[in-house]
Amino acid sequence: MNNEVLAPMMLNIKRQEMQDRGGVNWLIDLFISELPNYLKELELAIDINDNEELYLAAHKFKGSCSSLGADDLVATCKQLENLAKEEDLAKAAQIIEEIPKKIELLIAAMKQDKIDHPE
C-alpha cells in the first residue's frame, strides 16, 4: 500500500469508531462509488468557468477524502481551493486532469486495505 496515497492510521481510527456500526469497509465502498461524481463536479466547474463552484466542489471532495485518509487527494483539493480563490481555472484544469490517475491509485490502495482488514 502506498502511504502517500492513503493514510492507514486514519482508516484504523475510522475502523475503531465504526466497529459498533458494522465496520468501515462499507464506507470505503460508498466513497469509491462516489469518486466519479466528485470528479464530474470539478470538471463541470471548469467547463462553466465558475471559480465559486470549483471551490465548493473541491472543498466537498476534500472533506470526504480527509475522513478516510486519502491524503494525496486532500492535498490536491486544497490546491484546487486555492486556485479557485486565485481565479486560475487554467491551472486548476491541469490539476484536475491528473485526478483520475490519483483515483486509480487510491482505489487500488483501498481495495488492498479491505483485503488486509476483512470485516
- What pLDDT shows up at residue 47? 98
CATH of domain 8-114: 1.20.120.160
In percent, how much of the chain has pLDDT > 70?
A: 95
Q: Is the pLDDT assigned to residue 2 strictly greater than 60?
A: no
Q: Is the dihedral of CA 17, 20, 24, 30 positive or negative?
A: negative
pLDDT surpassing 70 at residue 49: yes
**DSSP state, 118?**
-
Asked if the model's pLDDT at residue 54 lies above 70, the reply is yes
Q: Does position 73 have pLDDT exceeding 90, yes or no?
A: yes
pTM over 0.85: no
Q: For residue 21, what pLDDT is reported? A: 66
